[in-house]
A and B are shown apart, each in its own frame.
Chain A
């Protein structure tokens, strides 16, 4: 069975290669299909200078050749120079932005998991009572409203109106600056996680083995902790990968709204300014991360089942 898990992992990694290739290809040609070019903003560039720039970055070559060269470089681990941030190459920019984005994302994920999980558990234990209805209504709202809508509302209310928290900026990752972006990022995932956890709990609470546990005379708290939680968390664990992917992609916009120096800001700036290598580099790095996180989440999912876990010993 352990060998089967390894085989499963390997198979998933092999399948990931064409997936990544497809992502790279699609984003390459989509970026190029977008109107405009990387140096448009520097409006009054001499046509000759512009031509020199194009030659210098190899943008004058046929598109397919550029594509081939780009892929070859990526395989060597070189994402090329940034066209907009002139003194940096793409790898450096990602290295600067990733710690900020990762910190934001991990905290948002933890908040979503802890708060969402707890809300889901309590809602299930108060099934059909006020807390349950209230949280589920809020969860529905949380899922329906995307984070790029909640973010400005949060900034307006807590930042400008109540003046409790900074409206924007990183400030070396100060806690006060993290609060609003974390909330905006975490909310939709928190809502989904609360619903998943509640659903898992309600299902397991009806199981025969829970009745056996109650028939032993265990108090309900012990029944829930020992006999319910682990099985009830199974759907949630399967969702961890997609949740992280949601937070990572959500972060791209949130960082822009709150002016945080993460990968997202570079990504949006890169996209707006047709900084082809920068956008491509971020897409490929994020694509790889999301695929890996999904794989991890699937492995954790399998490991929750003692049938599988057993074989690790």
Chain B
């Protein structure tokens, strides 16, 4: 049986004036049915663009290459009409900033109802009842009142609940949550993550959690994929990645987690320096400039990782010595 989402050789490039910026570089991995996968990396690593590309939501100046299959069916660069039967119905996406992500001129209820009316053939009354039910599912206080509110009238946490209700209303197979808690304070963050876990349990939805925070991913995900400079650096189960990181970059990220770095004596030095420029492509390992274990070979030969093999693996020459 083919995986839920199968990404092969995905690249995303942006035309910026005369130059070309590469945000995603030849990425391959699978999302299996029922899994919760954390996509982790620094800001600019290409996390968002990977999934925007998969859903055909890239900006106008972007081009995607490669292949993305949903249940075996190619969905990359297919006509809009084909995408529209999939988006919101089978795959939903929840975005980082729910204030700019919700239409300011429309009431929240209307925005939640839309997908249900479109995909489930509901009439206005049914869709409204469904939207109300969804708001209760995401634990929105005073759901009825909220239906008639405009986004600006809600708090950040409430807006994110609206976003999740909106994404989940058609019970998609896959929910892509792009930094769903980054804009929220810690308590609300925990509530939203709890909510995602519950959704997954009760509705059996697969989840992709995009985050720059390894700790957030650890709380929710079965598997973790580390992205750097548009490439996959490490992939494995959450416990594999946490207990025995195979990539120096992952080790650096783990070291900079507050709870693990509490003992100054064993403190690994945090990763210094800047991630490489998205405009240039080096022949070797993208992490070489910042890697403390860099070898001669690292600058000439690019280490590769094929994550769809499903085992714990890293794109690093240290593993193939």
Which A residues have a C-beta under 8 Å from some C-beta of B?
127, 206-209, 211-220, 222, 226-227, 230-231, 304-307, 310
Q: A218-B84, A227-B106 are in contact. Are A306 and B152 (CB under 8 A)?
A: yes
Of B38-46, B96-104, B269-277, the one contacting chain A is B96-104
Mask: chain B, 200-234; 1 = CB below 8 Å from A; 0 = not: 00000000000000000000000000000000000
Q: Which residue of chain A has the shortest Cβ distance to B153 in the bound complex?
A: A310
A215 touches B150 (CB 8 A): no
Per-position 1/0 for B48-67, Cβ under 8 A of A: 00001001010110000000
B95 close to A217 (CB less than 8 A):
no
A216 touches B118 (CB 8 A): yes
| A216 & B104 in contact (Cβ 8 Å cutoff) | no
Contact partner, A211, options B57, B81, B89, Cβ 8 Å: B57
- Complex Cα distance, B267 from A286, in Å, reads 77
Of the candidates B80, B87, B97, B150, the one whose C-beta lies within 8 Å of that of A216 is: B87
Distance (Å) between the CB of A301 and the closest chain B CB?
13
Question: Do residues A209 and B152 form an inter-chain contact, with CB atoms below 8 A?
Answer: no
Contact yes or no, A209 B103, CB < 8 A: yes
Give min CB distance, A161 to chain B, whole Å: 44
> Residue of A at shortest CB range from B152?
A307
Which A residues are CB-close (under 8 A) to B115? 216-218
Given A216-B115, A217-B119, A306-B152, residue A211 in contact with residue B95 (CB < 8 A): yes
In the assembled complex, how far is the CB of residue B151 from the closest CB belonging to chain A, in whole angstroms?
8
Chain B residues with CB below 8 A from A217, complex form: 83-89, 115, 118-119
- Do B87 and A219 touch across chains, with their CB atoms under 8 A apart? no
B298 at the interface (CB under 8 A from A): no
Query: In the docked arrangement, what's the CA distance between A108 and B153, Å?
Result: 40
Q: How many Å lie between the Cα of A127 and that of B59 in the bound state?
A: 13
Is there an interface contact between A207 and B150, defined as CB atoms closer than 8 Å?
Answer: no
Contact of B101 among A212, A230, A305, A306 (CB under 8 A): A212
A219 contacts across to B, CB distance below 8 A: 80-81, 84
Chain B's nearest CB lies how many Å from the CB of A105?
30
- Which residue of B55, B101, B106 is within 8 Å of A208 (Cβ)? B101
Is A212 a contact of B95 with CB atoms below 8 Å? yes
Name the distance in Å between A200's Cβ and chain B's nearest Cβ: 13
Q: Name the distance in Å between A300's Cβ and chain B's nearest Cβ.
A: 14
